[in-house]
């Protein structure tokens, strides 16, 4: 049962690669961003609490995200876990160690997606998804083949994340530099960090991650 962290700034491709690993391996994607967006959509008390924080591009409290991850880890059974967007602070990194140890799990790799921030702003600001099936599209890189029609399901409804505007993306990047990048040494000391060029194509990034997980890199 392998447990890995995908680490990288907003738009680095964590969600793209985590979804692919979940589809191809007996692993579960644990994305705190997705969990928080579900909480918002359901109108739960947690959702109401985090809405303004997320829309400003700031980090939600460590206690909330750690509790969400703990619940999902309990439901993961024997599947390996892909942590996508968690941990994001030193306190979350330490909380994750505890959650894993309590469940007899070991952290195998921390995969850092190394990227160019200006390029990421273009990636994020241009992205949108099908409102029906969730298929990802992009204004510049992945326009629907037929204008305004989803390539996958044919729907004509699309949506954009409220935090995907340039100003909020810059705040999200700053939060990453200030609070998340500094946790890398914590994992480096333990020899867990592997680096992948996140500016390569989606398939090339996927191949590099596969090589790490299969022990060939």
> Which residues have a catalytic role annotated?
14, 88, 127, 161, 172
Residue 22 as a binder of ligand AP5 (CB under 6 A): the answer is no
Residue 86 as a binder of ligand AP5 (CB under 6 A): the answer is yes
The total of other beta-carbon atoms located within 10 Å of residue 12's CB is 24
Window of 8-16, 20-28, 103-111, 152-160 that interacts with ligand AP5 by CB under 6 A: 8-16
Q: What is the DSSP letter of 181?
A: G
Residue 20 as a binder of ligand AP5 (CB under 6 A): the answer is no
In 3-state terms, what secondary structure has residue 45?
A: helix
Window of 41-49, 82-90, 98-106, 182-190 that interacts with ligand AP5 by CB under 6 A: 82-90
Question: Using CB under 6 A as the criterion, what x/- string covers residues 118-157 for binding ligand AP5?
Answer: -----xx--x--------x-x--x----------------
Which member of 1, 16, 151, 184 binds ligand AP5 (CB under 6 A)? 16
Phi–psi pair at 214, nearest 5 degrees: -90, 5
Give the bridge partners for 136, in sequence order: 129
Q: How many of the chain's residues bind ligand AP5 (CB under 6 A)?
A: 33
Residue 88 as a binder of ligand AP5 (CB under 6 A): the answer is yes
CB 195 within 8 A of CB 112: yes
Residue 11 as a binder of ligand AP5 (CB under 6 A): the answer is yes
Chain residues that interact with ligand AP5, rule: CB under 6 A: 8, 10-16, 32-33, 36, 53-54, 57-60, 65, 85-86, 88, 92, 123-124, 127, 136, 138, 141, 163, 172, 201-202, 205
């Amino acid at each position: 049962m392998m447990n890995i962290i995908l680490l990288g700034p907003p738009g680095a491709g964590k969600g793209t690669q985590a979804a692919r690993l979940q589809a191809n391996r007996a692993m579960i994607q644990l994305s705190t961003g997705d969990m928080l967006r579900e909480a918002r959509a359901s109108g739960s008390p947690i959702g109401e609490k985090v809405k303004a924080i997320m829309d400003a591009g700031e980090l939600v409290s460590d206690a909330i995200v750690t509790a969400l991850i703990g619940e999902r880890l309990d439901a993961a059974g024997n599947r390996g876990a892909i942590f996508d967007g968690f941990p994001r602070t030193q306190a979350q990194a330490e909380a994750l160690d505890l959650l894993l140890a309590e469940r007899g799990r070991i952290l195998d790799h921390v995969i850092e997606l190394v990227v160019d921030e200006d390029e990421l702003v273009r990636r994020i600001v241009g992205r949108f998804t099908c409102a029906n099936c969730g298929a990802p599209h992009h204004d510049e890189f992945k326009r629907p083949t037929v204008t305004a029609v989803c390539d996958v399901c044919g729907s004509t409804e699309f949506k954009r994340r409220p935090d995907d505007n340039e100003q909020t993306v810059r705040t999200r990047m700053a939060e990453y530099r200030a609070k998340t990048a500094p946790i890398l040494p914590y994992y480096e000391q333990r020899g867990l960090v592997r680096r992948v060029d996140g500016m390569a194509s989606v398939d090339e990034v996927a191949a590099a991650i596969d090589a790490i997980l299969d022990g060939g890199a």
